Amino acid sequence: MSTKGFKPIRACGAPDVTVKRQKGGRTGLALLAGACLGAVVVCAVLMPLVYFTLADLQAKVDKLSDDGVQKALKLRSDSAVVATDSLGETAEFQSADGNSDDRQRRDAGGSGPVRPQPPPRPRSGAVYVRWGRDSCSSDVETLYSGIMGGGHYSHHGGGGNYQCLPLDDVVWNKPQAGYQHHSYMYGAEYQTGPGFFSADNMPDGITNPANYDVPCSVCHVPGRFSNVMIPARMSCPQGWSKEYSGYLMSSYYSHNSNKDFICVDEAPNLVPGSAADQNGALLYLVEAQCGSLPNGPYVNGYELTCVVCTK
């Protein structure tokens, strides 16, 4: 049978497979191309937004960092104008009307930081006794003036050091008349003749301090925190300040009561009207004894000098 001009008969409802495959391929390519084109458009739109968002975030981070640095600098500047003295008290330097350095900056017409004021001179410092003088030097605070005392030269017991006893505002607490406790305080007297001490601070016409009572003063030097008495010298080491110099003195070598070695001012005061020989605690010049001391810098029988230094 001839098949020329014959068209195959499709079963009822059967799809045209060939046609469908061609249309499906074109549709897939179109969708893929559209998706890529859409992605390009989306990226083109979103990338500037992302860039500007990141740039804004970086700017905010930089601003926060700058703010932190400025706050740290302000705290350092504020702490620079706060001084804590050695007593633990804090003082903030302000202008006379109580305003801070901002007010000073405005008054000065400038915008820069104000240089901190120097801290006040500290109230704490070195304390020493100036033996033989009724007051301290003019640039040193006199805590109190008094009279020198100690145990009796003939007693075996009692205190072994000299004391500076105040003459003003003496306070008693439940005192009892009489002697019940058998420990005593006596006044002190010079036991040396003329020729050693300067008479500049003695009463007019008096050059011999023998038997006069010995004054004293307790001195406070703000800003210095150490003091030392150096025997056999009249000047201080480098970096130390000289408070006064004089002679080394103590008790008599054969007396029952031993006393400390102290430095007595070379130009002493005398307690007026006290020349009566009452004894008590006595003061003698100290002499070098060579053999036990090296014979070279020291000379046998020479009176030892001394100096009091602070730093």
For the stretch 128-161, pLDDT in tens is 999 999 999 988 999 999 999 999 999 999 999 9
The whole-number pLDDT of residue 22 equals: 45
Burial class (CB in 10 A: 0-12, 13-18, 19+), 282: buried
The whole-number pLDDT of residue 165 equals: 98
The whole-number pLDDT of residue 116 equals: 74
The whole-number pLDDT of residue 2 equals: 46
For the stretch 19-37, pLDDT in tens is 444 444 555 555 555 655 6
User: How far is Cα 24 from Cα 262, in angstroms, rounded to an integer?
Assistant: 120
Q: Any idea where the domains of the chain sit in the sequence?
A: 121-168+183-311
Q: What is the residue-wise DSSP string for the chain? A: ---TT--PPPPTT---HHHHHHHHHHHHHHHHHHHHHHHHHHHHHHHHHHHHHHHHHHHHHHHHHHHHHHHHHHHHHHHHTEEE-TTS-EEE---TTS--HHHHHHHHT--SPPPPPPPPPPS-EEEEEEET-SS--TTSEEEEEEEEEE--TT-SSS-SS-EEEESSS---SS--SS--S----EEEEE---TTSS--TTSPTT----TTPBPEEEEEEEET---EEEEET-SSPPTT-EEEEEEEEEE--TTSSS----EEEESS----TT--S---SEEEEE-B--BTTB-BTTB-TTPBPEEEEEE-
Q: Which fold has domain 121-168+183-311?
A: Noncollagenous (NC1) domain of collagen IV (2.170.240)
The whole-number pLDDT of residue 126 equals: 94
Q: Which residue has the tokens 């992302």?
A: 50
Beta carbons of 279 and 188 less than 8 angstroms apart? no
Q: Which residue has the tokens 């925190």?
A: 225
**Residues in the chain where the model's pLDDT stays below 50:** 1-24, 50, 80-103, 106
Q: Can you give the length of the chain in residues?
A: 311
Q: Give pTM, 2 decimals.
A: 0.62
The whole-number pLDDT of residue 80 equals: 46
User: How far is Cα 92 from Cα 306, in angstroms, rounded to an integer?
Assistant: 43
